[in-house]
Chains A and B, each alone.
Chain A
């Protein structure tokens, strides 16, 4: 680790102001950034911790919408969203291990957009709205590519708003070593249709499997998927699985998510 300074603002305005400093970088729960710093793979001169920004904390429900502050930890989501959005709470409860869940935040995960992270699948499948310090961005527009988002320099995720579905489930087939998703599929059923988002599989990061959405919107059962197949083009191939394998797992995990969602 190289030396750096750290600031811990308590308001969104202070955080945004602090991030204007040269080479300043936001620090969420630090579950990606801190290991990167330890390996000397990054050398920001200043970190702006978002952990103590009061307006970015906690889980709240208003009507059919669940709002989660950007600095809310996975552990808090796992417990506090369990009633309102159990599918999302279950996802949060299976990210990493307890140490990760007590530090890692939803804003950090979404902003980092790791192609194998869990939250992007939930956000995209739920048609969530990503709230930043300057604007609101639809999930469909937010996730641009592997480790790429629509966020501008210095823009921070202050909250994520999830429309609460009628039924939802996340199936994660883990990469055995990291236990990130090798393939993770989030299925969410709304009155106006079904959304299916896939993480872990694609070189382009999280994506929607639209053929499955159409099939499931007319028949919400695993059987509805039986004639569909997923192309291996653009799928990640690595030590833990080829593109073919990932493409196959997308269908298997989607079917299981539908079954589990009921």
Chain B
């Protein structure tokens, strides 16, 4: 197959990938979009085989490894519970990163195959491209592993900070650039290996200072990195499909990071530098605990909601932890039988990854047209009888609107305090991730339901 025809097929793959993302603009077209993505991938792999045209022993191995990897992937995809989606995505990012590193290593060791020159005499442009691809890939790999460990709870979600951290990272970053420069100048492979090892280290150091609730930003950022790594390799291999995909994924991840940062009213750098809320926690814990709190039980909550005409549910990460989405749906069904209008309100940073709550609600068979984003539903709280806050905290804190001293001041929040009564399911009065007390707990119209989210919801169903 001629190089030109090959390039045309790669272009077709690239366009199919664009259509795959385009399909996600609405749930109706999304399944078709995913199908386009699969076709695009099949074309890319198929024409690559045909272009090599060497159906010898090696070919059988390639197919074998493809099937091994494929079955592992398929197995994981069918087994994984929806609540574990954030760590799954983090894990998958790490694989893309490592694959990029491996391809870069192959290209470095055997440049003739890719028309990049000969070992020790690789074209400078190619060398820069493959160094960047390898470096970003390596950072994505270790960074995603740390994110995975934090999301999985194997590693503590609290930020790890130490003295001089930012200076160390800066120094390592400069060293990385220096290594690429020396590698191009000398073509000595030691620099290449050092570069990869250094990038592995940077990946770890970049993610450890970022805390659990900032994970939506981290995952989006690593998503973006995996795209840039792929693009870097695409330039090295002069492959259009890879360049197109890399650019798409890179910009997609960047936009998601931006949306997540905006959802917290924090700058990207503020999140990346980490250590949020670790300092002022102690000062807030004093004195505030004595304030009176209205404590309710499941019967009170059931009574309030049964007699309401409209209820808005505000789910948060706590719902995912307690696996309460199915119980919640049953509760809503029971309420609907009583003629109550029920909708769901989702904050952009609820959960541990973008769109996390939506997937969990979809899993529990909640129709997506009952689920609304912050801007769509925020005005409705004023006309709503009961807001049922389940596993969310900081995203409902009115302090974000009133207290300029608060670390979350300016963050867009769900105006639950405007509804006639608020039911707050929470295990204790402890502050949320940002380490600040929630004013909402002490309001007259708030009823605190101290229990596990799932257990409380099930008890409410019994009382309905």
Tell me whether A and B are bound partners.
no
- Chain A positions near chain B (C-beta within 8 angstroms): none
